[in-house]
Amino acid sequence: MQRQTFYYRDYQGERAPAFEAPASHDYPHVLAMVLAGGRGERLYPLTGHRAKPAVPFGGSYRLIDFVLSNMVNSAIPEIHILTQYKDHSLLRHLQQGWIRPYFSDGPLIMPMPAHMFDKDICYLGTADAIYKNRVFIKSAQPDLVLVFGSDHIYSMDVRQLIHYHLEKGAEVTVATIPMPLDQCAQFGTVVVDDDWRIRQFEEKVPFPTPIPDRPDQALVSMGNYLFNTDCLLEVLEEDAPDNNSSHDFGRDILPTICDERRVCAYDFRTNVISDTELPTDYWRDVGTIESYYRAHMDLNNPLCHLNFHNPGWPLRSITYHGLPARMIEDLNGRTGCVENSIVGNATIVSGGYVRDSVIGNNVYISSGAVIEESVILGDVIVGQGARIHRAIIDHGNVIEAGEGIGCDPDYDAARYCLDESGIVVVPHNPLC
C-alpha cells in the first residue's frame, strides 16, 4: 500500500507538508470512545426532551454527526458511543443514520447506553463513563484510545492528531485551538512550554497564559483527547476510588497527571481536510443558546470556514426521503422568496419571505409570513402573515396567523423562552 502525503497549515496560514501516512501494517490499532451523555443544561429548552448530542443543527443534521463524520472519514475502525441522558431520540438517530448504512462495509459503530447492563448504573463524569466501559477497551486491545466529545461543530482529520501524538512520543495529547486572549475566558485553557508539552490547566480564567511566542493568543482545550491505552487504564484506576474527584478528564485527571506524564497539545489550526484549499479551522462550542444561534448564522456567511459541501470529507447523517424544497406561489400569485438561507427537504415557502435563516426539513411557510435571522428546526407550520425575527423554533409547533415572535420582548418572555442574549426559543411541542 502506498503512503499518502498529508498537509497542514501553520498558524500563519502557510501550507506545508506535514507527514506521510504510514502503510496499514504500520498503523496503530485505534479505538474511539465518543462521550454522548451530556444534559446540555445551558441549551435548555432545546435539551428539555433530548440529549445535547441529538440537538438538530444546520437544517438536516444533529450535533453528534460532526464527530462521527470525522471518525468515519478518518477511517477509525471502531467507535463506541456512550449515551445516558434522555437518549431515546439519539439512539433512534444513530440506528437510522449510522449503524445500518455502515454496518457491513464500514467501521463498527456501537451505542453504549449507561443502563445497557444495569439499570442502576449512571456515569458520574467523563472519566467515569470511560472507566465503566473499560472492559471493552481491554477486550479490543487497542494501542491508542480516542476520547472525544459529541457536541462541537468542526471538521478534523483525526489521523493527523494520531500522527502528531506518535511523533511527539506523548502519552496523552489534547486537541487545542488558539484563540485571542480576550475570547478565552469562557473556556478551559492549557499552558504549554516551547515544545508544546502541557504544564498546567487553567479553567475559565479571565487572563489565561499566552502561547510561547504568541503573546496575544492562548490555547483552548477542545475536549478531545488521545491516550496511550496503558496510560488511560492506569489513570482511570487511580481516579475511580477518589471520593474527592468529580471523575472528569478536564477538571480532575489531566491537571493531575501533566507533571508526571507526557501530555502534549495539538494545534487544531494546523489540521487540513482533503479536497479543499480553504482554511478548515472552524470550531464552535455550542453550549449556550446564544452560541448555538450564532453558529447557525455563520452558515449563511460566505466567508465561513465550515464546509458542508466537500465531497472528500462529507458530513453524514440520516437521508431524508422527502421532496426537494420548493418556493411556490400562493393563491394570490405571490411567489415565495428565500434570500441567503439554508432550506431543508420537503419545506415549502408559499408566498412567504425568508432571509438569513436556517430552515429544517418539512416546514410550511404560509403567504405573507416573514422569517428573518431565525432557525426553524423542522416539522413546523408558520401561519399567514406571521413574523419571526431572531428566534429558534423547535419541532412540532404551529405558529398562528399574524403571530409575532421576536418583536416584543415582554410578550415573548410571557409566552416562550427569552434567552438573556435576546434570542427567543419556542420549545418543542409534543402535541402536534
Query: pTM score, two decimals?
Result: 0.91
Q: At CA 378, angle to CA 377 and CA 383, rounded to 5?
A: 105
Q: What are the tens digits of pLDDT across the range 43-90?
A: 999 999 999 999 999 999 999 999 999 999 999 999 999 999 888 989
Residue 127 clears pLDDT 70, i.e. is over it: yes
Instruction: Give which of 44, 60, 132 is closest to 325, Cα–Cα.
Output: 60
Residue 18 clears pLDDT 50, i.e. is over it: no
Q: Show the cell assigned to 327.
A: 418556493
Residue 227 clears pLDDT 60, i.e. is over it: yes
Preceding omega of 22 cis (within 30 degrees of 0):
no
Model confidence band, residue 119 (pLDDT cutoffs 50, 70, 90): low
**What does DSSP say about strands 283-285 and 152-154: parallel, antiparallel, or unpaired?**
antiparallel
DSSP per-residue codes, 210-279: PBTTBTTEEEEEEEEEEEEHHHHHHHHHHHTT-TT----IIIIIHHHHTTTS-EEEEEGGG---TT--S-
Mean pLDDT of 271-292: 88
Q: What are the tens digits of pLDDT across the range 385-407?
A: 999 999 999 999 999 999 999 99
Residue 186 clears pLDDT 60, i.e. is over it: yes
Q: Show the cell assigned to 381.
A: 407550520
The 8-class DSSP code of residue 98 comes to I
Residue 13 clears pLDDT 60, i.e. is over it: no
Q: Which domains does the chain have, with CATH numbers?
A: 4-299 (3.90.550.10), 326-426 (2.160.10.10)
Q: Show the cell assigned to 387.
A: 413574523
Q: What are the tens digits of pLDDT across the range 246-275?
A: 999 999 999 999 999 999 999 999 999 877
Report the chain's mean pLDDT, rounded to a whole number. 90
Q: What are the tens digits of pLDDT across the range 353-385?
A: 999 999 999 999 999 999 999 999 999 999 999
